[in-house]
Amino acid sequence: MQSVDGLSKEAKIAYQAFLDMSDSKAAHFNCLQAIENKYKSGGVPGIAENLELEKLLASHDKNVMAFKTAMAAVTDSDEKNTLVQLMS
């Protein structure tokens, strides 16, 4: 397995941005799933649940943009290939 140890500072930042984006995606999805499971029988989510979901989505959107920006800063094609392997 590839390692981040030999990567440039920019590539390490991009990899951390990927991890942050993955975490925020999972948090948002888990919240959606919990709401769906809770209200399968016809109930509706409350204001607090909707606000939490909105907060998680905003966090994920921010992380997606940070990842996009960080990946654009990685200009070396070998490092980009390594990052793709690490993210797989």
pTM, two decimals, is 0.88
The encoded tokens of residue 84 equal 């793709």
Q: pLDDT of 24-83, one tens digit each?
A: 999 999 999 988 888 887 878 789 999 999 999 999 999 999 999 999 999 999 999 999
Structural domain spans, the chain = 9-87
Cα(first)–Cα(last) distance of the chain, in Å?
11
pLDDT tens sequence across 1-17: 678 888 999 999 999 99
Distance, in Å, from the CA atom of 26 to the CA atom of 14, rounded to the nearest integer, reads 18
H helices of the chain, where?
Answer: 9-38, 47-73, 77-87
Q: Provide CB contacts within 8 A for 88, sequence distance 6+.
A: none
